[in-house]
Structure 1
Amino acid sequence: MGNTTEQDVATAEELVEFIRQSPSMFHTVATARGYLDEAGFTYLPESGTWLLEPGGRYYTVRNNSSVIAWRVGCALDDPEHGDFHFQLTASHADSPTFKLKANPELEGPEGYLRLDVEAYGGMIDYTWFDKPLSLAGRVLVRNGSRIESRLVSLEEDVALIPSLAIHLDRKTNESFSPNRARDLCPVVSAGDLSAGTVDALVAEAAGVEPGRVMARDLFLVNRQRGRVWGAASEFVSTPKLDDLACAFTSLKAFLASDNEGCVSVWCCFDNEEVGSNTKQGAMSTFLRDTLGRIAEALGRTNEDLRRGLAGSFLVSCDNAHALHPNQPDRYDAANHPVLNGGIVVKEAANQKYCTDAFSRAVFEGVCADAGVPVQTFANRSDMVGGSTLGNLSNVQVSMHAVDVGLPQLAMHSSFETGGTRDVALAIAALTAFFDANIRIADADLVVLG
């Protein structure tokens, strides 16, 4: 297993900072764009004309909440690298939280002012109680005849969801099951503030008068700062570890790699936590449209694209459940990952994950050649697990694919925990994937180089 090094800690702390800068899916894309811009990538709007060249670095964005970046290899036509193809990773930018409704305030009882919110995704509700909370997302602002999108993040805590005292519910520790319409309304004021406060706060953060804010996509944010901790610095805890840990590690790997024989692609989609079935989700046409336009801009025919997809490979990156020390019986006896054991390959007979024997062999072969450890996750056979974005993106653009993730505890809590070393180990595994010369002949043969 090894010991945590100073470099492991530094890498995990960069992840913590990446997450701090990404309080909403819109901020995640903005943060990723900062990395891409610094690395010399060119932004190509979906509505513009795309002119690509070998060696070029590009990215495009949909809805300001999903982003796809790619690097064109300089030796795409070199027979040593096989036929034209893509090597991709895909993660997601969103995390479970609560979304502010269009009319955001609830007045009373007595002098209280509360927020009217609804659940976004499947969070662990009790972890949101008794924490100072903020708001972040985007607002649409009227500026003359223009309506403009602006990022908003209140740099202060303005709300809290209070627990009911145990004296008023003696059985709360036996069967705590809060009602989301009644028990999960954050308190904004106990009487000093009045209706319109939320609009005023949001407008101030956007730098406009309240009347110019036309619409908003705002979410509750736990601003508790992430950290590396433990006597041996083994743990990293932060909000949104799922799935920003994968977004970060796959982005770092993508930027560190250098594969001249393919088109390397990094994807980060929105709305995975609510099913991905949106215009910017993994089940949308975003990936299909982008790959098709890349092929066309590089002078490839539709036939070339179809052949290229058959020889392409996707690594779907979404975190995995590490063995819980207090409830090990919840896990499969032989297929459970541990913290700081390395990246996890996830597989399920019900096909909720896209891993099969072929894709497992390819990914584990790449990692073995690079000397990077790999773990395995499968659900206990009498328990139904979750799903992720790999199979959903394959509905639109099908290719060989494997599901992987970093092992973590407390998935969908407002504050999640992973292993410090796993951050660097995941970057190493995904860099090896991007660097590998993967030549696929249907599902019968693959050559790794």
Structure 2
Amino acid sequence: MNTDLQTQKLLDFIDASPSPWHAVENIVGQLHAFGFEALDETAPWALQAGGRHYVVRDGSSIIAFVLGQQPLSASGFKIVGAHTDSPGLRIKPNPVNWLDSFVRLGVEIYGGPILATFADRDLSLAGRISHKTPQGQIANTLVRFDQALLRLPNLAIHLNRGVNDDGLKLHKQNELPLLLTRWTEEQLPPDYFFKLLQEQAGITGQQILAWDLAVYDTQPGAFWGINQEFYTDSQLDNLASCHAALAALLDGAVLDHENTQVCAFFDHEEIGSESHKGAAGSFLSDILSRIALATQTGQQAYLQALARSIMVSADMAHAYHPNFPLAYEPEHKVIVNNGPVIKVNANRRYSSESGSEALFANWCQESGVPYQYYSHRCDLPCGSTIGPIVSAKLGIRCVDVGNPMWAMHSIRESAGVLDHNYMISVLKRFFCDP
């Protein structure tokens, strides 16, 4: 199997997107290449059938849509939802501390990362800086350090004899600060870190007021396996789903279809989605309402549109790991490169129900794509997605799906080349469903 073009594009997308703000910036770049135009939530909208538009909220959530030829009341909305954030480490507001002449940066844990995987990696910083311009305005600038800037060195096994028996356990307050440099306090100016950010962002002389800075792994994505049938990178959960949805939306047949198609990519899924730009906020409902208003769709017709709408919540799924067979429900071992996974949970941790499951299975069959079902072990707590949140908030049918992957929430995750193409194919079919 040759390294796959779409999967290579995915790896390039992830490597150019070390933070949710960078991911949205790169999505915007792809949308512009296909004639999409930005809409401002603070301005009135004028929309025409066939129009291609997007809205960004606070830099790290984005909704893109193509307005179909059919009235909304007749077609509803075809929505794919995913999220731009990934678990990891974020830099604290006052991060710099000195200890025995070493300069360290304090971090907070974002979401539920596998902390041990951050040890001994070539780490750096990326995100956005909020600063005051010389004119007194508040502006946001993206920043990224390409070089390995930080490290979390492991303690030698001679000093931690039980690490292979007990696993690597890191004290969340005392043992997670990242090493930056060695300097005496007399040599290091108090605003050292601010100046470092200013120079990297190209805003020298402007006052930094705040930041959202993520720690990321500088190692690029790669293919692996004897036939290069697998791929690995950071943030597969969930930039792989964002990329698949975007690739499907930007297909020529999809763009010209009479349906109204929506891609909604939210920040803050990994911490519960409770924010003004998260899936539990008003972002999606606001945009759908604005589309209805701008197309002179009345309230009754808008409610008809919602009743006809369906959403695919695309998030990654737990692939069967042969080294840990007891971690899985015996009859629901989903296999890498065996197709997308329909995720089912009776307690509504996933939004799938038999009607929406059947629809997705049928789209797979019509696309020539294999599919699988996943159910969590009953003696383990099950994770959740944006699916149940959006489905309940809008009152629309939803199905939770995702591609199987290994090492979810590690800084280095893996998945299958075939599955990425399978997901793009079935999402194209979904967008064009009558």
TM-score between both structures, scaled by the size of structure 2? 0.96
- Alignment-derived partner of residue 396 in structure 1: 393
1:162 to 147, 153, 172: 153
Identity of aligned residues (%): 35
What SS does the aligned partner of 1:98 have? strand
What SS does the aligned partner of 2:163 have? coil
> In structure 2, what is the Cα distance between the partners aligned to 1:31 and 1:142?
25
1:293 is the counterpart of 2:290: yes
Q: How does 1:50-199 map to 2 (within 5 A)?
A: 50-76=45-71, 83-108=74-99, 110-143=100-133, 144-175=135-166, 176-191=168-183, 194=188, 195-199=190-194
Contact conserved, 1:258 with 1:435, CA < 8 A, in 2? no
> In structure 2, what is the Cα distance between the partners aligned to 1:278 and 1:231?
44
Residues 58-109 of structure 1: CA deviation (Å, up to 9, x unaligned): 11010011000100112338xxxx814100000000001111111011111x
> In structure 1, what is the Cα distance between the partners aligned to 2:362 and 2:423?
15
> In structure 2, what is the Cα distance between the partners aligned to 1:178 and 1:236?
28
Aligned amino acid, residue 172 of structure 2: R
Contact conserved, 2:363 with 2:429, CA < 8 A, in 1? yes
Aligned amino acid, residue 165 of structure 2: E
> In structure 2, what is the Cα distance between the partners aligned to 1:411 and 1:210?
41
Aligned amino acid, residue 197 of structure 1: Y
Structure 2 residue runs of 5 or longer lacking an equivalent are: none
Matched length: 427
Contact conserved, 2:259 with 2:432, CA < 8 A, in 1? no
Q: Would you identify which runs of 4 or more consecutive aligned residues in structure 1 move more than 4 Å? A: none
1:416 is the counterpart of 2:413: yes
What SS does the aligned partner of 2:249 have? helix
What's the C-alpha RMSD, in Å, of the aligned pairs? Answer: 1.4
> In structure 1, what is the Cα distance between the partners aligned to 2:162 and 2:6?
43
Aligned amino acid, residue 122 of structure 2: P
2:9 to 4, 14, 31: 14
Q: What is the Cα deviation at residue 247 of structure 1? A: 0.4
Aligned amino acid, residue 160 of structure 2: D
Q: What is the Cα deviation at residue 392 of structure 1? A: 1.3
Q: What is the Cα deviation at residue 164 of structure 1? A: 1.2
- Alignment-derived partner of residue 214 in structure 1: 209
> In structure 2, what is the Cα distance between the partners aligned to 1:145 and 1:397?
40
1:320 is the counterpart of 2:317: yes
Contact conserved, 2:221 with 2:231, CA < 8 A, in 1? yes
Q: What is the Cα deviation at residue 23 of structure 1? A: 0.4
Q: How does 1:317-396 map to 2 (within 5 A)?
A: 317-396=314-393
> In structure 2, what is the Cα distance between the partners aligned to 1:196 and 1:9?
46
1:231 is the counterpart of 2:223: no
Aligned amino acid, residue 170 of structure 1: R
> In structure 2, what is the Cα distance between the partners aligned to 1:10 and 1:19?
14
1:26 to 15, 21, 34: 21
> In structure 1, what is the Cα distance between the partners aligned to 2:406 and 2:353?
25
Aligned amino acid, residue 425 of structure 1: Y
> In structure 1, what is the Cα distance between the partners aligned to 2:13 and 2:180?
28
What SS does the aligned partner of 1:173 have? helix
Residues 270-300 of structure 1: CA deviation (Å, up to 9, x unaligned): 0000000011000000000000000111110
What SS does the aligned partner of 1:376 have? strand
Structure 1 residue runs of 5 or longer lacking an equivalent are: 438-449
What SS does the aligned partner of 2:127 have? strand
Q: What is the Cα deviation at residue 260 of structure 1? A: 3.3
> In structure 1, what is the Cα distance between the partners aligned to 2:206 and 2:424?
46
Contact conserved, 1:96 with 1:121, CA < 8 A, in 2? yes
Q: What is the Cα deviation at residue 211 of structure 1? A: 5.3
Residues 17-53 of structure 1: CA deviation (Å, up to 9, x unaligned): 0001110000010010011010100100111111100
- Alignment-derived partner of residue 442 in structure 1: none
Aligned amino acid, residue 426 of structure 2: A
Aligned amino acid, residue 426 of structure 1: M
Contact conserved, 2:50 with 2:256, CA < 8 A, in 1? no
Q: How does 1:241-252 map to 2 (within 5 A)?
A: 241-252=236-247
TM-score between both structures, scaled by the size of structure 1? 0.92
> In structure 2, what is the Cα distance between the partners aligned to 1:294 and 1:233?
44
> In structure 2, what is the Cα distance between the partners aligned to 1:422 and 1:366?
15
What SS does the aligned partner of 1:174 have? helix
Aligned amino acid, residue 138 of structure 1: R
Aligned amino acid, residue 90 of structure 1: G
